[in-house]
């Protein structure tokens, strides 16, 4: 996992200062991985490092850090003392961030002294930093010679989901917690969406979803699963006429055969039409909405559905 600078800046802007608690090391069986983090401020918090007494005590220490400004590094065995039976142990790094400190965060890797570490960067850390930057990333947060090396979050991929039916809802609830995607959820009216929405999801009611699709950036991935085959076809036609990083369509082999025929009639060449992935998900997982969502999430995270935003627009399609 990586440091989400945008979320941190937003929290600082909202609360003035926040304490960030991040899992900096693990041993044995633990509830969360290295890099899992939560933000704490006076009167609230977001994110999780595993819940339970571990998180409760970490939040209490974080509020002390907020008040006295002294970062800390704590080692916490997950045993009877915390009322937990994981049997492992975690190292927690708690740091106070305000607007001034945010100014020092730059580049793909955020390197800084750990609490009690040397102010000057050790040679071994310099070498590790050069190696990580040469490879384009640091695999995960690392404690080395009293310093912290932590990768910064990559830019999120715009993901447009059309349809708020059972599969659409399962997809949104599966994908929304992931830091990889910025989700825009489109359907024909506000009544189509559930009252409770996952954090970070942008809802876009649109009488004409195909027209609304024109608002997406060229690096967006699109998943089409509306209640109407006519809407689905209109979306396919619109999206094939512009750049997109990937297009997925829910449907059977029969539906896809009919759509291919109609898209040809609308002026799209076979090379264009092949940009659409249909069906989506993993057929081996079944047709339950949650099973489809798991399969789609897997294909998105592995990059299987991503395609070049360059597209060989036919003259007829480009003219439409």
Please tell me the distance from the alpha carbon of residue 203 to that of residue 187, in angstroms, as a whole number. 8
First to last CA, the chain: 43
> What pLDDT shows up at residue 307?
52
Query: Would you call 35 helix, strand, or coil by DSSP?
Result: coil
Using one digit for the tens of pLDDT, what is the confidence trace for 246-299? 999 999 999 999 999 999 999 999 999 999 999 998 888 988 999 999 999 998
Q: Packing angle between helix 253-265 and helix 229-240, nearest 10 degrees? A: 50
Beta bridge partners of 222: 160, 247
Place of tokens 């999430």: 297
Place of tokens 């990333």: 137
Q: Going by C-beta distance under 8 Å and a sequence separation of 6 or more, which residues neighbour residue 150?
A: 2, 3, 22, 35, 109, 110, 111, 138, 141, 142
> What pLDDT shows up at residue 79?
67
Q: Residue 214 has which token pair?
A: 């024109």
Beta bridge partners of 93: 22, 73
Q: Going by C-beta distance under 8 Å and a sequence separation of 6 or more, which residues neighbour residue 128?
A: 142, 144, 149
- Domain residue ranges in the chain: 5-97+107-151, 157-319
Q: Indicate the average pLDDT of the chain.
A: 88
The helix (H) or strand (E) run that includes residue 185 is strand 181-187
Please tell me the distance from the alpha carbon of residue 304 to that of residue 226, in angstroms, as a whole number. 22
Using one digit for the tens of pLDDT, what is the confidence trace for 15-56? 999 999 999 999 988 889 999 999 999 999 999 998 888 999
Query: Would you call 262 helix, strand, or coil by DSSP?
Result: helix
Beta bridge partners of 94: 21, 72
Decide which of 83 and 291 is more confident: 291
Please tell me the distance from the alpha carbon of residue 175 to that of residue 62, in angstroms, as a whole number. 29
> What pLDDT shows up at residue 34?
93
Query: Do 80 and 56 touch, CB atoms closer than 8 A?
Result: no
| Helix, strand, coil percent content, the chain, rounded in steps of 5 | 35, 25, 40
> What pLDDT shows up at residue 129?
85
- Residue range 148-169: average pLDDT? 90
Query: Would you call 94 helix, strand, or coil by DSSP?
Result: strand
Domain spanning 157-319: which CATH class is it, in words?
alpha beta
Please tell me the distance from the alpha carbon of residue 163 to that of residue 209, in angstroms, as a whole number. 9
Is the confidence at residue 313, as pLDDT, over 80? Answer: no
């Amino acid at each position: 996992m990586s440091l989400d600078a945008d979320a941190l800046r937003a929290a600082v802007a909202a609360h003035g200062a926040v304490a960030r608690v991040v899992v900096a090391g693990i041993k044995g069986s633990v509830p969360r991985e290295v890099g899992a983090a939560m933000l704490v401020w006076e009167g609230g918090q977001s994110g999780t490092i595993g819940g339970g007494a571990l998180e409760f005590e970490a939040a209490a220490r974080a509020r002390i850090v907020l008040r006295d400004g002294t970062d800390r590094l704590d080692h916490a065995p997950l045993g009877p003392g915390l009322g937990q039976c994981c049997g492992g142990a975690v190292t927690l790094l708690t740091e106070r961030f305000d607007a001034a400190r945010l100014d020092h965060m730059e580049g793909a890797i955020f390197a800084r002294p750990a609490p009690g570490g040397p102010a000057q960067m050790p040679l071994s850390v310099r070498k590790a930093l050069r190696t990580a930057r040469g490879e384009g990333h640091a695999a995960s947060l690392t404690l080395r010679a009293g310093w912290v090396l932590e990768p910064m979050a990559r830019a999120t991929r715009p993901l447009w989901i059309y349809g708020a039916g059972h599969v659409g809802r399962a997809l949104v609830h599966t994908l929304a917690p992931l830091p990889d995607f910025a989700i825009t959820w489109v359907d024909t009216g506000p009544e189509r969406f559930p009252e409770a929405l996952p954090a970070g999801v942008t809802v876009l009611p649109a009488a004409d979803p195909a027209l609304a699709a024109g608002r997406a950036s060229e690096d967006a991935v699109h998943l089409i699963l509306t209640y109407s085959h006519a809407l689905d076809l209109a979306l396919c036609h619109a999206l094939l006429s512009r750049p997109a990083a990937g297009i997925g369509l829910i449907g059977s082999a029969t539906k896809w055969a009919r759509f291919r025929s109609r898209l040809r009639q609308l002026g799209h060449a076979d090379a264009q039409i092949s940009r659409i992935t249909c069906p989506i998900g993993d057929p081996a997982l079944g047709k339950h909405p949650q099973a489809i969502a798991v399969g789609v999430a897997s294909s998105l995270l592995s990059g299987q559905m991503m395609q070049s935003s360059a597209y060989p627009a036919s003259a007829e399609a480009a003219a439409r």
